[in-house]
Structure 1
């Protein structure tokens, strides 16, 4: 259970430094005050001379934080690029290995690709944090040690709208940027009114395209791609059994606070970095252009098509708030509100660093799953 994991991390996190201190050996000195065994050799230089190993035992192993293996299978258009930028700063500051995949269009893997990817992840020197847009991977199914998972999600309609307009117009960084990044998109598609797309049931604005967040937590099973109760319940079960924390973007500062509390080796100082002027300057890439709010009628239709996504989002939000109460966290964020049939939907959710474009996944001939690995 996620709540159990919370307290386990707390216990091991506090004992880490005492264990580290206890693991140090005492250096013995001779009568002249010179340290004995200062030349640490594992070979006998002369017959009858003892080795350091025989006198002192093997050197103490490196003490790793708990947990030392973390996977962030980031959901597209849920602020993950902001978090990745923070992680790059934190990795340099706290000396952990951060590996970020540049594959953005392959979330579903064959069985062989799953095994290869999980083995490659497991071979990253610990402590590590690996991040990629990929649906949940069940390491234990293949008898590989399961890492701890973290993630962040967002109000489903907000996520959909952000992706819809970002695919077409990108952001303020260049007026013609969208023409360069999506050259194959025709003008009638690029300038398609969002209300027409929804109300006339265009493929982009209907299922299965709208069934997006749940598969990231359901996993690689073929049934996870089909909207319905099975995928929804499997996603909830995986969250409870495998995810240390799933936050909501609408309360990002509280998410960062909890990550700092639960994973101090990785996230200490994350909130101060996030609020710093230097980071704000580096991360000032916000604002998807041409982002009108759909009509009330269109929002009602969209909401009905995304009922499972909202069921899951509300479950995550409740679990997140419960964890905040258990840990005694005083919220820094304004509480989120369930809309009066979406009229007060949080369409003004803070726009963070925009994701790299997520292209529609081809059905075959996808690039090899091993190509992501760049040794830190």
Structure 2
């Protein structure tokens, strides 16, 4: 169909303006439209073909029209990534089950201010009685290079029994490093609550290493100023960044970052819990990966790193935080739906 459209352009142009730069421009533009629309199923170029059949259009009018249609296609295609992901989300929800898994390696991504320290305390307790080795590193290691990824993959492959690796780090597709028997586990938190907790932690924590990170000139800034400037503890769409990984666009928190984060979540995360529904999350985790976390409910989870300060938010502040963290809001809602679906499949009430 694309070639047919280009042929129509040639038949129209040849008798009238042989060798004209406008004809060349039209052919190249239509080819571009065809390439963009080929896999997306867009039909705008058909409209162009229909217009070409009408002989009373001038070449200038046609040249003005072609870029407009091309731009429409380019803008439309950027939105298709999200629409495709939404279809995948619906499909993934339809096939949710309570299937038990027993991976050789469990990677625990510690997302900042999502109860990760509290969860690690439970992991340490469980590792004493469970048949797995625990590797925990308290510091962050966010932007890994290929060398670091390879080292971690090799470490996991060298273990002869179940292995849990817990650390602050962005998602890595370890399939690329010949590590296939693994799953991801993590917790997410209501984006507004997580953002405020992070702001308070960085600006009011009594811990020396946190105080050393904060620029002294930012100490007394307002929450909204920190939000606007993305100072320490106020990065936008941080949860999306963890799920998205190491691509450059993951830093942007845009549609591409969200789509990639959703894809990774659906593909490699056996479990994503909610801080707001911790007990339900523990039950689902124990049901899903029992050889690692089957005794989870026998442990008492105490919250660690609780903020020393509390803060009431105005409606304006809530709206601003949600707007700036729109990707995280969508990601959290998706994780919430998946957790509830998994709980239902496992016969658990929520």
Q: TM-score range by the shorter chain?
A: 0.5 to 0.7
Q: How far apart in 1 are the matches of 2:260 and 2:304? A: 36
Larger relative CO (CA 8 A, sep 6+): 1 or 2? 1
Please state how far the C-alpha of 1:266 moved relative to its aligned partner: 1.3
Alignment of 1:174-253 (within 5 A): 177-178=206-207, 181-183=210-212, 185=214, 187-198=216-227, 201-204=228-231, 209-253=235-279
The change in CA–CA distance for 1:93 and 1:142 in structure 2 (over 3 A counts) is closer
**Match status 1:267 vs 2:293:** yes
Partner residue of 1:97 out of 130, 133, 143: 133
Please state how far the C-alpha of 1:217 moved relative to its aligned partner: 1.2
Partner residue of 1:316 out of 324, 328, 335: 335
Alignment of 1:100-119 (within 5 A): 100-104=136-140, 106-119=141-154
Bigger Rg, structure 1 or 2: 2
Give SS of 2:236's match: coil
TM-score, normalised relative to structure 1: 0.63
The change in CA–CA distance for 1:113 and 1:310 in structure 2 (over 3 A counts) is same
Partner residue of 2:281 out of 246, 252, 255: 255
Q: How far apart in 1 are the matches of 2:128 and 2:325? A: 40
Structure (1 or 2) with the greater helix fraction: 2
The change in CA–CA distance for 1:291 and 1:195 in structure 2 (over 3 A counts) is farther
Aligned residues: 259
> Corresponding residue for 2:183?
148
**Match status 1:128 vs 2:163:** yes
Alignment of 1:1-376 (within 5 A): 6-9=97-100, 66-104=102-140, 106-170=141-205, 177-178=206-207, 181-183=210-212, 185=214, 187-198=216-227, 201-204=228-231, 209-274=235-300, 283=302, 285=304, 287-331=306-350
Q: How far apart in 1 are the matches of 2:311 and 2:120? A: 28
The change in CA–CA distance for 1:74 and 1:206 in structure 2 (over 3 A counts) is closer
Q: How far apart in 2 are the matches of 1:264 and 1:96? A: 12
Give SS of 2:344's match: helix
Asked whether the equivalents of residues 100 and 287 of structure 2 are also in contact (C-alpha less than 8 Å), the reply is no
TM-score, normalised relative to structure 2: 0.68
Structure 2, unaligned runs of 5 or more = 1-91
Asked whether the equivalents of residues 2 and 243 of structure 1 are also in contact (C-alpha less than 8 Å), the reply is no
Spell out, residue by residue over 1:20-74, the C-alpha distance to the aligned partner (whole angstroms, 9 max, x if none): xxxxxxxxxxxxxxxxxxxxxxxxxxxxxxxxxxxxxxxxxxxxxx223211112
Taking only aligned residues, the RMSD between alpha carbons, in angstroms, comes to 2.5
Structure 1, unaligned runs of 5 or more = 11-65, 171-176, 276-282, 332-376
